[in-house]
Amino acid sequence: MEEILATIRIALRALARNKLRSTLTMLGIIIGVGAVIAMVALGQGAQEQVQKQIAALGSNMLFVGSGTMNRGGLRMGNGNTQTLVNDDVQAIMRECPAVSLAAPGSGTGAQVVFGNDNWGTRINGTEPQYFDIREWSFSEGTSFTPEDVVMAANVAVIGETVRKNLFGAVDPVGQTIRISNLPFKVIGVLIAKGQSAAMGDDQDDTIVIPITTLQKKLTGQSWLRYITVSAKSKAASFAAQQQIQALLRDRHKIRPGQDDDFAVRNLADVAGAADEAGSVLTLLLAIVASISLLVGGIGIMNIMLVSVTERTREIGIRMAIGATESDVHRQFLIEAVTLSFIGGAIGILLGLVTTFLIPQVLGWAVSVSVIALVIAVVFSIAVGIFFGFYPARKAARLNPIEALRYE
């Protein structure tokens, strides 16, 4: 143990004699480790942000939308069929055991007026359980009731974007707005959810009214554009998807081999695909940043080879007074590892400072992983060992007599 400590002291003194060279050698490791930590934090932050946006859509949610149709050989995209009806919603609740809640839905665009202000937004018609499926609570007021749905009442729940653009500092609850020249009483304001990762739209730019009010007074449509469904658990969402598909194919009399006239989107699939894409992005960022570590390792090897050449006579003297090949090999290997370890420690600090500044300056989400920090340290030491081994081996194999003659 004493021999190892003595070797470490000798190695540190050797590095201290050339402070500038040692610092410049460490620079590649510092930048590499800092870049790896910052890039991994950036990738994981983006991944977590997308997952939060998907989770904000609702709990174990499935989205059943009207599907494609074929008219005279012309295939039309999703949203063009008129086969989804309210009876389908009741059948899903009755015959799909993996489903806990289901709500009908339809929508239209409209210009909404309050006082002298107006705002173009999306009007969604549904039933009260929609807010439970979406896990969407209220910042003010409350939801409409099943009685409001039965009576086709002119009541509305507004999103945060609508509140800001239409009401400003005015309390909207209890106020009357006009939608397509019809008066609606605002009874609630939804908390802000932000942009939808799955749909790419502003979830808060919406007004929600009873489905019967929308159908009877605004659109005149008896069919539904979509059905929102909540499975009993995340694991049950796949079973719920299969049950809904089988049920609707049977109800809509779709024969084997024919295309569905509806589309079922499982948010668990969307979350899984986003998570996989995020993992690939994080890996690519880490690989790109690791190139700096590789360059830093090459720099260590280069400087250590120069050091061996400069200190050939010193090596010869050490061997002449009793130092073994293993002592010389250990000394130069410790010098290389020390360079990479100190560089790695400074690189970690640089990476942490960078991850702190990214949200402040750019507004991007970051997530620092302890595992990434550990990997960065281990990797920096491994770089020192790998790239320091050859110079150390070359120093240890010098002929003592030839080394003493070296000028």
Q: Model confidence over 348-407: pLDDT tens digits?
A: 888 888 888 888 877 777 777 777 777 777 777 777 777 777 777 766 666 665 655 555
Mean pLDDT of 222-242: 87
Model pLDDT, residue 69: 47
Residue 71 lies in a domain: no
pLDDT at 19 over 90: no
Do 168 and 87 reside in the same domain of the chain?
Answer: yes
Mean pLDDT of 65-70: 63
Do 101 and 38 reside in the same domain of the chain?
Answer: no
Mean pLDDT of 244-270: 83
Which of 197, 226, 260 is the endpoint of a domain?
260
Residue with tokens 């006239």: 261
Distance CA 29, CA 383 (A): 9
Model pLDDT, residue 269: 63
Do 105 and 47 reside in the same domain of the chain?
Answer: no
What pLDDT digit, counting tens, does each position of 299-342 carry?
Answer: 777 777 777 766 666 667 767 776 677 777 777 777 777 778 88
How many CA atoms lie less than 13 Å away from 282 in the CB half-sphere? 22
Distance CA 237, CA 99 (A): 8
Do 101 and 152 reside in the same domain of the chain?
Answer: yes
Distance CA 306, CA 24 (A): 14
Residue 265 lies in a domain: no
Model pLDDT, residue 72: 41
> How remote is the C-alpha of 327 from its chain's centroid?
50
As a whole-number percent, the residues of the chain with pLDDT over 90 amount to 29
Distance CA 272, CA 157 (A): 32
**pLDDT category, 71, cuts 50, 70, 90?**
very low
Residue 59 lies in a domain: no
Residue 277 vs residue 20, higher pLDDT:
20
Model pLDDT, residue 362: 77
Lowest mean pLDDT among 64-73, 114-123, 125-134: 64-73
What pLDDT digit, counting tens, does each position of 179-212 carry?
Answer: 988 999 999 999 988 766 445 578 899 999 999 9
pLDDT at 112 over 80: yes
For the entire predicted model, the pTM comes to 0.61
CB atoms within 10 A of CB 325: 14
Mean pLDDT of 138-167: 94
Three-class DSSP category at 407: coil
Which runs of consecutive H residues, i.e. helices, occur in 56-142? 86-95, 129-133
40: containing domain: 2-53+273-405
CA distance readout (Å), 162 to 123, 134, 196: 11, 18, 16
Three-class DSSP category at 249: helix
**How many domains does one find in the chain?**
2
Residue 296 lies in a domain: yes
Torsions phi, psi for 123 (to 5 deg): -100, 120
Which of 234, 260, 286 is the endpoint of a domain?
260
Which of 227, 260, 293 is the endpoint of a domain?
260
Q: Are 32 and 295 in contact (CB under 8 A)?
A: yes
Distance CA 133, CA 143 (A): 13
Q: Are 83 and 226 in contact (CB under 8 A)?
A: no
pLDDT at 129 over 90: yes
Do 49 and 89 reside in the same domain of the chain?
Answer: no
Residue 248 lies in a domain: yes
What's the token pair of residue 239?
A: 């079973």
Residue 87 vs residue 36, higher pLDDT:
87
Model pLDDT, residue 407: 52
Q: Are 189 and 66 in contact (CB under 8 A)?
A: no
Do 240 and 319 reside in the same domain of the chain?
Answer: no
Do 225 and 341 reside in the same domain of the chain?
Answer: no
Residue 259 vs residue 102, higher pLDDT:
102
Do 256 and 278 reside in the same domain of the chain?
Answer: no
**pLDDT category, 273, cuts 50, 70, 90?**
low
Q: Are 207 and 124 in contact (CB under 8 A)?
A: yes
Kindly give the interhelix angle for 237-251 and 86-95, rounded to the nearest 10 degrees: 130
Model pLDDT, residue 17: 74
Residue 226 vs residue 236, higher pLDDT:
226
Do 150 and 279 reside in the same domain of the chain?
Answer: no
Distance CA 82, CA 66 (A): 7
What is the rounded average pLDDT for all residues in the chain?
80
Model pLDDT, residue 67: 65
Model pLDDT, residue 76: 41
How many CA atoms lie less than 13 Å away from 134 in the CB half-sphere? 25
Nearest to 333 by CA among 359, 363, 308: 308
pLDDT at 292 over 60: yes
Q: Are 208 and 104 in contact (CB under 8 A)?
A: no
What's the token pair of residue 90?
A: 């009741």
Model pLDDT, residue 376: 75
- Length in residues, the chain: 407
Model pLDDT, residue 310: 66
Do 338 and 213 reside in the same domain of the chain?
Answer: no
Distance CA 180, CA 364 (A): 40
Torsions phi, psi for 137 (to 5 deg): -90, 180
Distance CA 315, CA 399 (A): 9
Do 349 and 220 reside in the same domain of the chain?
Answer: no
DSSP annotation of 191 reads P
Mean pLDDT of 237-247: 88
Distance CA 289, CA 276 (A): 20
Do 199 and 298 reside in the same domain of the chain?
Answer: no
Residue 60 lies in a domain: no
